[in-house]
Chain A
Amino acid sequence: MELEHDDTADGVRLIRLKGRLDLEGAEAVDLKLTSLCAVRKCNVILDIAGVEFLSSIGVSVIVRVARALTSREGRLVLLGPRPNVADVLMRTQIDQLIPVFGELDAARSAVLAPA
């Protein structure tokens, strides 16, 4: 599981995940992802276009990160899930709690929109 991140000029932190977000993948990225999101007023776009497989344990990691961000006045949106990954987000109804976007521009507008 690969993780990289960029902080853009408009204050958005873009984090890209690549690989299988299963038990092994979740354990591999959990610490780094958590520390990247343990910041006050941080708006994060989590780009999951490179995530080829998402299991419930990966969903748990995403939920935990979203909660950590919102508790510090930040925000999380998801970007670009593949159909099988979008399906898991839908079945667990996480897409009702964490906005999901197909395009970066839409994700950026949403994460920067005033509360």
Chain B
Amino acid sequence: MESVSPDTLAAAASSGLTTSMSSRTFPADRTAPRAAAAWFRSAPSGLSEERAADAELCLDELVTNVVRYAWDDPTGHEIRVEVERGQEELTIAVEDDGRAFDPREAPLPPMPRSLDEAIPGGRGLMLVRSIAPRVAYERRDGRNRVTIAFPLAG
């Protein structure tokens, strides 16, 4: 495997010619969505303020979904979040080792016409699918990897 010094990576990132990537792992519990969102906000994303807020919401929704549904009991599991800034877009990947789940294909609840029809759940993926310009999914080595992408400002 080729080794790249941190200096090379930093230079490449600052020149804008290639990508910069950072990742962090969060314990899969109810604190994970907020922790992941805070981590995402802590570094400049290169997105416009509005798009950064959209991205933060989508990240929160994806992590929330994993915490709630990926395992019967999430205790001891982890969620890995990766943020990659390319030349034209910012991608956020959320990875877990829970049950296979493709968020692009999950059925969405119908838009309710009354409060009686409004079921309490199911809106998270609807938000992600309506907000994120691109959603990708991969299942590999027993892991789910959901990637969302947003065009960078400018």
Same complex = yes
CB-CB < 8 A to A64: which residues of B?
120
A106 and B15 alpha carbons, distance in the complex (Å): 53
CB distance from B58 to the nearest CB of A (A): 10
Within 3-45 of A, Cβ neighbours of B (below 8 Å) are at: 20, 22-25, 27
- Secondary structure of the B contact surface, majority rule: helix
Q: Which of B6-14, B86-94, B108-116, B142-150 contacts A (4 or more CB under 8 A)?
A: B108-116
CB-CB < 8 A to A22: which residues of B?
33-34, 37, 60, 64
Interchain CB contact under 8 A, B64 and A55: yes
CB-CB < 8 A to B118: which residues of A?
63, 67, 94, 97
A92 and B60 alpha carbons, distance in the complex (Å): 16
Interchain CB contact under 8 A, B31 and A55: no
Interchain CB contact under 8 A, B123 and A59: yes
- B67 close to A (CB within 8 Å): yes
Interchain CB contact under 8 A, B53 and A84: yes
Interface size class of A (residues with CB under 8 A): 20 to 34
- B95 close to A (CB within 8 Å): no
CB distance from B91 to the nearest CB of A (A): 21
Interface size class of B (residues with CB under 8 A): 20 to 34
A94 and B34 alpha carbons, distance in the complex (Å): 23
Interchain CB contact under 8 A, A97 and B115: yes
Return the CB mask of B111-150 against A: 1 if under 8 Å, else 0: 1101110101111101100110000000000000000000
A23 and B124 alpha carbons, distance in the complex (Å): 11
Contact of A55 among B32, B33, B120 (CB under 8 A): B33
Closest to A54 in B: B57
Binding site for B on A (CB under 8 A): 20, 22-25, 27, 53, 55-57, 59-60, 63-64, 66-67, 70, 84, 88, 91-94, 97-98
Binding site for A on B (CB under 8 A): 30-34, 37, 53, 56-57, 60-61, 64, 67-68, 111-112, 114-116, 118, 120-124, 126-127, 130-131
Given A63-B115, A93-B112, 7 more contacts at CB 8 Å? A22-B64, A23-B64, A53-B37, A88-B57, A91-B130, A92-B123, A94-B118
8 A-B pairs within 8 Å (CB atoms) are namely: A23-B67, A24-B30, A55-B57, A56-B122, A60-B121, A94-B118, A97-B114, A97-B118
